């Protein structure tokens, strides 16, 4: 049998029929048609399990052609996927109540998943970082003051936006109106400013102005920071006292050398690039590190907003799954949009397009989306003051 050319990052168990191959990757299913020269992946549901390349190679020991081909990506004529469209409130009050009590939130923003399925939330207008354990009815303040008081000391925050974690659940978060990034060790009672100058906005390489999104390269410890009001993304190497502009920095605009108020972004290590939500430009762009301009991924190149499957309205948060599929918190359309890797035509998987509300199938300005290793969604439902969970099924 001719060996099929596939992206062999995954453990495959397969059988063949006369004209098709059906493979299982944990709970991921590919329905592939093939001939002697090519393979076309036509269906993808979801990736659940990764194994090392060596294990993959053992499964194909008898193949007479290469099985490691990173150029092959799912080329989907149609995609099978399914999420429960009714959300479950996992943090905050399901009825939208606000407050500083430990079971309430006030305009939650960025989220991150920690050990033991814990959920870290930038409780924006409560000026704190909250940790919610799985199935808990209340959170615990991990950074900032539990009573919601703002400040610019080593123990107080002012409008934190997003949080990133290392493997030990040490926190790195943007403290927006203090114009800094703070490192806060797991269990510590105070934090340390590691980027920016506390309380001092600026546009030099050692200052920030209203930083929002943050991402951490787990391999190198490098931080990427959305310096939102400077319309740029900054790179801070491990222990560096100043950063380097790696995207934008040419003033606000829609030109492909510019960004405009980038709130959320994600760092994609395999492609060494940033996927950036250009908030007022209503698009998602890809900026390869080292490049001088971006390429359009989703939305309008001219900034046109809309509620169709190809347009966005003030996108804020963005994340990728391990297959490169894109999830966008399309805030102005009150929905989460799902885009297959390489495609610009999306599908609404949470919320109701153009309809804000408090019911469990609605969202009200979703600002952030996080995907766990089972492809379940955690959505910061900002104006409903809660975090919603949408299970993958």
pLDDT digits (tens, 9 = 90+) for 359-389: 999 999 999 999 999 999 999 999 999 999 9
pLDDT digits (tens, 9 = 90+) for 204-244: 999 999 999 999 999 999 999 999 999 999 999 999 999 99
Q: For residues 71 and 339, give the distance between their C-alpha atoms in angstroms, rounded to a whole number.
A: 19
Could you tell me if residue 25 is inside a domain? no
CA distance 38 to 356: 45
pLDDT in tens, 235-250: 999 999 999 999 999 9
Of residues 274, 270, 369, the one with CA closest to residue 327: 369
Reply yes or no on whether the pLDDT at 28 is more than 70.
no
- With a cut of 70, say whether residue 181 has pLDDT above it: yes
Q: Residues 23-31: what's their mean pLDDT?
A: 30
Three-state SS for 92? strand
Mean pLDDT computed over 11-38: 31
CB atoms within 10 A of CB 154: 14
Tell me the residue range of the domain where 342 lies.
88-390
Residue 219 lies in a domain: yes
Tokens of 287: 């900026």
Q: How far apart are CA 317 and CA 47, in angstroms?
A: 22
Interval 285-340: pLDDT, tens: 999 999 999 999 999 999 999 999 999 999 999 999 999 999 999 999 999 999 99
More reliable by pLDDT, 45 or 93: 93
Point out the least confidently predicted range of 31-35, 347-351, 377-381: 31-35
For 43-69, write each residue's pLDDT tens digit: 333 333 333 333 333 333 333 322 333
Q: Does some domain include residue 240? A: yes
Residues near 79 by beta carbon (within 8 Å), at least 6 away in sequence: 43, 44, 45, 340
Question: How many residues are present in the chain?
Answer: 393
Residue 69 lies in a domain: no
Asked if the structure places residue 58 within a domain, the reply is no
> Within a domain: residue 47?
no
The more confidently predicted of residues 33 and 237 is 237
Which tokens hold the place of 314? Answer: 């003030």
Distance of alpha carbon 12 from alpha carbon 42, whole angstroms: 16
| pLDDT band of 189, cuts 50, 70, 90 | very high
pLDDT of residue 52: 35
Q: Are 227 and 259 in contact (CB under 8 A)?
A: no
CA distance 83 to 389: 10
The owner of tokens 């929002």 is 212
Domain total of the chain: 1
CATH of the domain at 351: 2.120.10.30
Separation of alpha carbons 318 and 327, rounded Å: 6
């Amino acid at each position: 049998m001719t060996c099929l050319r596939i992206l062999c990052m995954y453990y495959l168990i397969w059988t063949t029929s006369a004209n098709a191959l059906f493979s299982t990757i944990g709970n991921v299913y590919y329905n592939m048609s093939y001939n002697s020269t090519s393979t076309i992946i036509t269906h993808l549901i979801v990736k659940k399990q990764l194994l090392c390349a060596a294990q993959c190679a053992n499964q194909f020991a008898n193949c007479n052609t290469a099985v490691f081909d990173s150029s092959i990506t799912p080329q989907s004529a149609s995609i099978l996927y399914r999420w429960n469209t009714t959300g479950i409130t996992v943090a905050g009050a399901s009825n939208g109540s606000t407050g500083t009590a430990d079971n309430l939130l006030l305009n939650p923003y960025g989220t991150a998943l920690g050990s033991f399925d814990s959920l870290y939330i930038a409780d924006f207008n409560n000026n704190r970082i909250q940790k919610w354990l799985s199935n808990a009815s209340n959170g615990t303040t991990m950074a900032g003051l539990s009573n919601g008081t703002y400040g610019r000391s080593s123990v107080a925050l002012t409008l934190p936006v997003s949080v990133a974690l290392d493997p030990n659940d040490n926190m790195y978060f943007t403290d927006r109106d203090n114009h800094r990034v703070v490192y806060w060790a797991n269990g510590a009672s105070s934090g340390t400013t590691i980027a920016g100058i506390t309380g001092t906005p600026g546009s030099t390489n050692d200052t920030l102005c209203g930083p929002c999104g943050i991402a951490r390269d787990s391999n190198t410890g490098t931080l990427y920071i959305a310096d939102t009001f400077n319309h740029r993304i900054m790179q801070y190497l491990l222990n560096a006292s100043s950063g380097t502009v790696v995207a934008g920095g040419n003033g606000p605009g829609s030109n492909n050398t510019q960004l405009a108020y980038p709130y959320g972004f994600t760092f994609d290590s395999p492609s060494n690039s940033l996927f950036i939500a250009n908030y007022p430009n209503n698009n998602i762009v890809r900026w390869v590190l080292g490049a001088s301009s971006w390429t359009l991924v989703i939305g309008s190149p001219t900034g046109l907003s809309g509620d169709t499957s190809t347009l966005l309205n003030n996108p804020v948060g963005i994340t990728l799954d391990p297959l490169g599929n894109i999830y966008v918190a399309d805030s102005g359309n009150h929905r989460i949009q799902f885009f297959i890797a390489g495609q610009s035509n999306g599908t609404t998987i949470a919320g109701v397009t153009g309809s804000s509300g408090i019911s469990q199938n609605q969202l009200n300005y979703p600002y952030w989306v996080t995907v766990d290793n089972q492809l379940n969604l955690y959505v910061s439902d900002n104006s409903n003051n809660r975090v919603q969970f949408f299970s993958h099924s």
